[in-house]
Structure 1
Amino acid sequence: MSFLQKSRRTAAGVAAGTLFLSLTTMPAQAAESGHVARFLQQAMDRARFQEVLDLAPPGSSQARVLASSAEEKEATPPEDYARLFASADPQPITQQPQLDVTVLELDRLGRPVSSGTVLMSPQHPRGVVVPVDGNFHTSAVRWRQWDDNGWYANQGKGTIDIVPGREQAPIDFMSPYPASVLKLMVAFGVLRLVDKGTVALADTYDYRPTETSSLCQGDTSNTVANYLEASLTSSNNPATCALVKLLHDKGAVDELNQTFQSLGLETLQFKNTNPATGGRWSNPVTMSSLDTAKLLALVNGLPGRAWTTPAGKPVTGAVLSASSRQVFKRHLGAQGWNDMLSSANRCGSAYPAAGIPHAVADRWIGADGTVTVAGNKFGRDVRPCNAKAEVTYSHKTGWVGNSGADAGIVRSLPGKDGRHYIVVALTNLGTQYVDANRPPAEPGLIPVTYTEKLARLGRAVDTYESGRWSRR
């Protein structure tokens, strides 16, 4: 019997019991969340994420190369990954992947009304529901920092706590590195500086790193607005380094982390980055799917109180100005990398499966209808899918070898089945992991970056939400 068969069999009763316990012990005001959580746990279990193949199994030359880049986790461009994995001998993944997924449902005004968060790991191979209170907060998880080597050596168990004082929490979970979804925290920090008048979007920032960085590159000069747009729409790393260095220059990084804590978003921690370059994005940068979803709810905007923190502080959408929220959402809506919970850039392909049914922004579409993002060609005419789009998806993706992430706001287009929700998926299933049925990469086109199981999950969530709205 394989480890997966054993783990699934032995964990089935425990997972079912934990699911029942977590749903029945929620406060009454959060009971509605049980429906979403139950669906999500079942959808993730049905996806069978444990069937992916590993292009860099332990002991391989590919694994050693990836381990050497842990300090600058996002410095490897897509073409370098393709070359690294060209000679790989894919092997079955050694244990159940690590996933942290949240669906946060919103009403027509953007107010959170219900949610579901499910964690999947070697300890919880069929997924475990995270209980939340009426403020969409949980103290039931001992969040641990991601450890690249420890995921193999320690059976997916972390050793560094993200939130102190959770030693007795019933769920112990090592949070996947968020990859470029961290740029949501950077943008939030920069726009807070704009709202305070510390900087203006029209200001020119001269980026002058005092150390070298393969991630951040060399000197640049541009407006804060242009750096922000490049960071969010094409996930430009050097532009983001400039914004991070700007935050350091203004003494705003510690304040940003304190702001997340004051908002009750305890797992959002932007730590250990390099003030000399704005780089060194590594494992001390942490996000959970639930706190990321709540951050996006504030970006989306809502009237009145969003939630109350554990310290008793009411949180409102006023944490960002209306103009900053508009800039933030506009850039997320113009996202170029539609290839994780969405697969819109590959419209009509037999592989990967179709994800969240949204339209690709016109700025990325060439005369032949195909998409090119930062020089990476996707090679499919997306106009037929754009014509049939059902929702807008304002989101940010991220990937490295062992991280695949997507976080965004979904809203139905006029005349389509109603839905309004936020979905966040943080996983260790980055470019290192592939499906057994993935076809060879086509010459000149970017390879499929994620397992198509993630796009299938995105479509399942959206189908569920389109039905939920009509029943409210």
Structure 2
Amino acid sequence: MSIFQKSRRAAAGVAAGTLFLTTLGTLGVTPAQATAEGRPSPVSVFLKWTMDESRFEEVLDLAPPGSAQARRLAAVEEKLAESPADYAARFAAADPKPIVQQPQLDVTVLELDRYGRLASSGTVLMSPDHPDGVIVPVDRNFRTTAVRWRQWDDAGWYANKGKGTVDIVPGRENAPIDFMSPYPASVLKLMVAFGVLRLVDKGTIALTDTYDYRPTETSALCETQNPTSKTVGTYLEAALTSSNNPSTCALVKLLHDKGAVNELNQTFQDLGLETLQFKNTNPATGGRWSNPVTMSSLDTAKLLALVNGVPGRAWTAPDGSAVTSGVLSASSRQVFKQHLADQGWNDMLSTVNRCGSAYPAPGIPHTVAQRWIGADGTVTVAGNKFGRDVRPCNDAAEVSFAHKTGWVNNSGADAGIVRSLPGKDGRHYIVVAFTNLGTQYTDANRPPAEPGILPVTATEKLARLGRAIDTFEAHRWANR
């Protein structure tokens, strides 16, 4: 019996991860061996084991196929997260049914050493074709050609049983793994921020410049009825810390105004981050974020490694040149990291905004930025109240988590840099998760929404996964 078969008898979540640590020691696989010999790394084996044990296939669908809820969501022209009030009303009116097939998940853990250098990685994909998960092989540059990446297709996920029809990266028709990549939702704002800061570094714009956002078409996503004039830095901060969509639209329109979108996409290709593609957005509004905007967890993790800072060569690009953190200046990287550290939406791989709640389960044990905490200790982000005193969790925090979340009805995503706090067990890694498990899906044990409190926006299985990964990484660091 394999360790994966045995895992079905183990406890879920953190308990599963803790139990697996003992089993992992018997594998005898070092990161160097895994890369050189094509063998799975310890973190990839752990990740597959834990994702399989998490039983994501047990979530409930609030808008099952054929329902009025599903028809309403399908009529939405532009991907946009519902307002908290609309979401709470939909949840209250729904008749949840079991999800019809194995969800799509794309998860990467990129382990870093104490200097920020890439040490090892694990990427696992789940889909109807791979219900137990499949480990993605990578080469010495932490790159893979083993996946035929396909664009997300909202209707096609049901109709084609998770198989996409539009290739993201050309020339992968014979790849052994065929995977439809979940829509990244607001994690796409990492690509926007990277593009804006590249323009800052070139001297094309400055963070102190005032940009007059004057859309020439309408967009609900961008709230185009409210044109704005703010500094580029103000737009950038709002886009990354409170995930403000109109501010992001302004930045996207700015990139179009400067003719920088095609260059941004080419830069990702030159860096060997082929799945990072910011396509089909509307130059008139900066909106129309849709399925041609693509990100894989592996390439997103590598982008965050550059933002975090890698001494010397990070990896070798497809043309043989060295990729370094010099793609952004030190000052731009610092701005980027600070905004991610100040991010307020801690409700995917982490749940500290709901500190002490019986539901959802605790995730990555990090601190909440002080800017969101009121005098009573509760968190409010963009007018949305979480209703729990987070000060006990801040006091007990073990790590910092500079991250960006995203969600719409069929997308739940989180991507960030984890580093231990002073005096706590060491770890330094990047974790990225893209799933189709957005606000449309919930858990059977989810309690009713509290009046005036933002409803839980994701299955708690993602938080349990985040906690298990963090426990594993702390153990890995202690035993290096």
5+ long unaligned stretches in structure 1? 1-7, 9-19
- Quote how far apart the aligned CAs of 1:72 are: 1.3
- Quote how far apart the aligned CAs of 1:31 are: 5.8
Matched, 1:129 2:135: yes
- Quote how far apart the aligned CAs of 1:84 are: 2.8
| Contact 2:33–2:39, Cα closer than 8 Å, also in 1 | no
| Contact 1:75–1:214, Cα closer than 8 Å, also in 2 | no
| Contact 1:27–1:133, Cα closer than 8 Å, also in 2 | no
| Contact 1:104–1:114, Cα closer than 8 Å, also in 2 | yes
User: 2:129, 2:283 → 1: CA distance?
Assistant: 37
Amino acid corresponding to residue 107 of structure 2 in structure 1:
V
Q: Deviations over 1:368-393 (max 9, x none)?
A: 00000001000000000000000000
Task: Look up the SS of the partner of 2:134 in the other structure.
Answer: strand
CA spacing shift, 1:434–1:224, aligned 2, 3 Å: same
Task: Look up the SS of the partner of 2:467 in the other structure.
Answer: helix
| Among 176, 200, 204, the residue aligned to 1:198 | 204
Matched, 1:452 2:460: yes
The corresponding residue for 1:104 is 110
Task: Look up the SS of the partner of 1:408 in the other structure.
Answer: strand
Matched, 1:38 2:45: yes
5+ long unaligned stretches in structure 2? 1-7, 9-26
| Contact 2:341–2:401, Cα closer than 8 Å, also in 1 | yes
| Contact 1:54–1:92, Cα closer than 8 Å, also in 2 | yes
- Quote how far apart the aligned CAs of 1:110 are: 0.6
Amino acid corresponding to residue 463 of structure 2 in structure 1:
A
The 5 Å alignment of 1:80-119 reads 80-119=86-125
| Contact 1:26–1:132, Cα closer than 8 Å, also in 2 | no
The corresponding residue for 2:64 is 57
| Contact 1:30–1:114, Cα closer than 8 Å, also in 2 | no
The 5 Å alignment of 1:359-398 reads 359-398=367-406
User: 1:32, 1:303 → 2: CA distance?
Assistant: 26
| Contact 1:103–1:115, Cα closer than 8 Å, also in 2 | yes
CA spacing shift, 1:396–1:68, aligned 2, 3 Å: same
User: 2:436, 2:303 → 1: CA distance?
Assistant: 21
| Contact 2:270–2:318, Cα closer than 8 Å, also in 1 | no
Task: Look up the SS of the partner of 1:113 in the other structure.
Answer: strand
The corresponding residue for 1:299 is 307
Amino acid corresponding to residue 383 of structure 2 in structure 1:
G
CA spacing shift, 1:28–1:235, aligned 2, 3 Å: closer
CA spacing shift, 1:338–1:30, aligned 2, 3 Å: farther
Task: Look up the SS of the partner of 2:468 in the other structure.
Answer: helix
CA spacing shift, 1:33–1:294, aligned 2, 3 Å: farther
- Quote how far apart the aligned CAs of 1:311 are: 2.5
The corresponding residue for 2:347 is 339
- Quote how far apart the aligned CAs of 1:27 are: 6.5
- Quote how far apart the aligned CAs of 1:78 are: 2.5
The corresponding residue for 1:256 is 264
- Quote how far apart the aligned CAs of 1:95 are: 0.1
User: 2:306, 2:63 → 1: CA distance?
Assistant: 38
TM-score normalised by structure 1 residue count: 0.94
User: 1:151, 1:119 → 2: CA distance?
Assistant: 15
Amino acid corresponding to residue 264 of structure 1 in structure 2:
G
User: 2:32, 2:349 → 1: CA distance?
Assistant: 30
- Quote how far apart the aligned CAs of 1:74 are: 1.7
TM-score normalised by structure 2 residue count: 0.92
Amino acid corresponding to residue 51 of structure 2 in structure 1:
M
- Quote how far apart the aligned CAs of 1:68 are: 1.2
Amino acid corresponding to residue 280 of structure 2 in structure 1:
N
| Contact 1:144–1:160, Cα closer than 8 Å, also in 2 | yes
| Among 270, 273, 295, the residue aligned to 1:265 | 273
Aligned structure 1 segments of 4 or more residues deviating by more than 3 angstroms: 23-33
Task: Look up the SS of the partner of 2:251 in the other structure.
Answer: helix
Matched, 1:149 2:155: yes
CA spacing shift, 1:24–1:220, aligned 2, 3 Å: closer
How many aligned positions are there? Answer: 452
| Contact 2:34–2:41, Cα closer than 8 Å, also in 1 | no
CA spacing shift, 1:464–1:280, aligned 2, 3 Å: same
